[in-house]
Amino acid sequence: MFSGAQVSLYAMTDDFVDVILGAISALEPYRQNFRIETDDISTLLVGPPDQLFPAMRDLFLGASKRGVHCVLAATVSRGCPGEPDDPICTPIAGSNHDRPLAERIAAAVQLVEAAPKSGQIVAAQFSLYPLGSGHHMDEIYGCIEFLKKSGVFERSKNFCTKLRGDAGPVFATLSEAFLRFGAPQGHVALDLKVSANSPSKA
C-alpha cells in the first residue's frame, strides 16, 4: 500500500532556519524505512502507514522544544490509486477492519491511553476523508465517537475536529484515526494542522 505525507513546518521566530533544519534531523531514525525528500515547500515522507505519525510527532517535537510558536501542516494519504507501488510501503498490520466498529473504537482508545507522554502540549485540528467506500459515513461517525473517547478531544468545528493535549496522545489519536477508519485497502486522506507554544489558546 502506498502511504505517505507531505509535511510543512513553520516556526514563528527570526531563528526559523535553525529551528526547521534542526527539527528535520529528528527524522534520521526513520530513514531506513522511509523515503524522505525535502524541498523549499515541504518534506515528503513515504513509508509504512503505522510509522507516519510517530515520524511527524518527532519532527514537530524537534521544533516545539525550542519554546517558539510553531505549526505543522500535513496532507496524509494511504492507498491512493494514482500513486505507483513502492516496496517500502506495506499493508496496515492489525487494523482489525474485520471486527465491528465498536471493537475497533475500543482498541483505538486503549492504544491512545498507552501512548507515552512527551511533556509538550499541542493543539491540532484535522479532517478525515475515507474515499471510495459505500459506508464512508459510518466510518466517519465511528471515528468521531473514538475521538470523543480519546482523552484529547476538545470540540467539533466546521469541517474539522479539534484536539488538545500532550503531543504523545494527540499524535497517537491522529494515527489511530488514520489507520483504523476507512477501508484497510481503500484510499484514505487526512488534512492536518498542529500548533504548539501559541501566544493565543483560542
Q: pLDDT digit string (tens) for 133-165?
A: 566 788 889 999 999 999 999 999 999 999 999
For the domain made up of 3-196, give the CATH fold.
Alpha-Beta Plaits (3.30.70)
Which grid coordinates are listed for 175? Answer: 494515527
Q: Using pLDDT thresholds of 50, 70 and 90, give the confidence band for residue 99.
A: confident
Of 18, 98, 15, 83, the C-alpha closest to 44 is 83
Q: Report domain extents, the chain.
A: 3-196
Check: CB of residue 2 under 8 Å from CB of residue 48.
Answer: no
Across all residues in the chain, what is the average pLDDT? Answer: 90
pLDDT in tens, 15-69: 999 999 999 999 999 999 999 999 999 999 999 899 999 999 999 999 999 999 9
